[in-house]
Each structure stands twice: as C-alpha cells, then as structure tokens.
A and B are shown apart, each in its own frame.
Chain A
Amino acid sequence: DAKTTQPNSMESNEEEPVHLPCNHSTISGTDYIHWYRQLPSQGPEYVIHGLTSNVNNRMASLAIAEDRKSSTLILHRATLRDAAVYYCILRDPGGGADGLTFGKGTHLIIQP
C-alpha cells in the first residue's frame, strides 16, 4: 500500500471546524482513502472513506484533491470528544497487503 504523510499533531478550539490534512503522492488508481480515529485507551474507530469524490457522513467530511495526491478530513464543529489520534490510510480492496497499514497519525488536541 502507498504511504501517507500526516502532521504529528494539531490543535483546535472547541466548536470550530478542524481540517486534518493527509498527503499521499504515490496513491494508485485503485487505492481508497480511509480515515480512522483512536480515542484514548480505545480501539480505532472508522470515520469515513472515499475514492475520488468528496464524501459526507454524520461524523465528518472527506475532501479529496482532484489529482488524489492529498485529502482533508473535515470535522465541522469540533467537540472535546473529538480529541484523538486520526489516521489516514490507503487501502486497495483488490490487492496489496492485507489489513490496514497504520502510520503514527495526527494527534488532535481540542482546547475548550
């Protein structure tokens, strides 16, 4: 699976939008972009995924660059419960290594 690059940490204020960037310049045409988050002392939690088009769900939005070499996870109104490590992961459903390849992710800090 191709590699992703994320900032080590980001800080934001409660009730403000948060934009979490991810670079994946070597993404292949069949790689899906997945986002997971891990709250303290818990297992990872699926957030959202997409291929080419922007995606929205109840948790977040995923904005994918036109060339697909980068993407941004958008939390529209952060709460203290959103403080977590966010992982951007590429996954080719048709091949490549099995499972999810987790990097170190972005540690999101939310200030009250």
Chain B
Amino acid sequence: IAGITQAPTSQILAAGRRMTLRCTQDMRHNAMYWYRQDLGLGLRLIHYSNTAGTTGKGEVPDGYSVSRANTDDFPLTLASAVPSQTSVYFCASKPSGTTDTQYFGPGTRLTVL
C-alpha cells in the first residue's frame, strides 16, 4: 500500500524556471489538496480538487497552477519560480463522503535561488 507519493523529494531550482511537483495516490480518493508549509505559519492551502476534472483556489494560489486529469494524479506547477516559493509542499487526499480527514504525502522540499 503506497498511499500518497510525491516527487521529487527535494529540489533546488533557479528563479524563473518552471517546475512541476508530482503527486499520486492509489486510494481512489476523490478530493486532493496541495499545501505549503512555512516556519511559523503552519500549512496553507494552495489549490484543491474535489473530483477529477475540477479544481479550486485555496488561500495562497498565486504563482501556482494545478490540473486533475484523472483520480490518481494532481500535479502542481510553478510557471516561473520565485524565491518566496521556497517551502515544503505537501499533497493530501480525502475519500468521498462526510469525513474531513485528509491523508498526507511525505512532502517535497523546494528551494528557489
């Protein structure tokens, strides 16, 4: 049972470069989420998807885009990275129904120089 996998584990990126963070889940969860974790700020929601084919903006969506072509994959793209996007990024998923419980991947540590 893999749960949620994220790739890469870590990345150092030059400012201005394009980067896609990958997230895959094998639990057939309908909803998926991207968060960034910054020291002293906890986790903040970037984008979410309630089901394949739909996406929505969270608290801090600027500079990021997502797509949800199928149930399993939810990639996060930084079109032109900036140093303020240096963070740890977590992908999460949630089964359908009334539960609010989200399950998290191991994270991607991104440094933008």
Partners in one complex: no
Interface residues of B (CB under 8 A from A): none
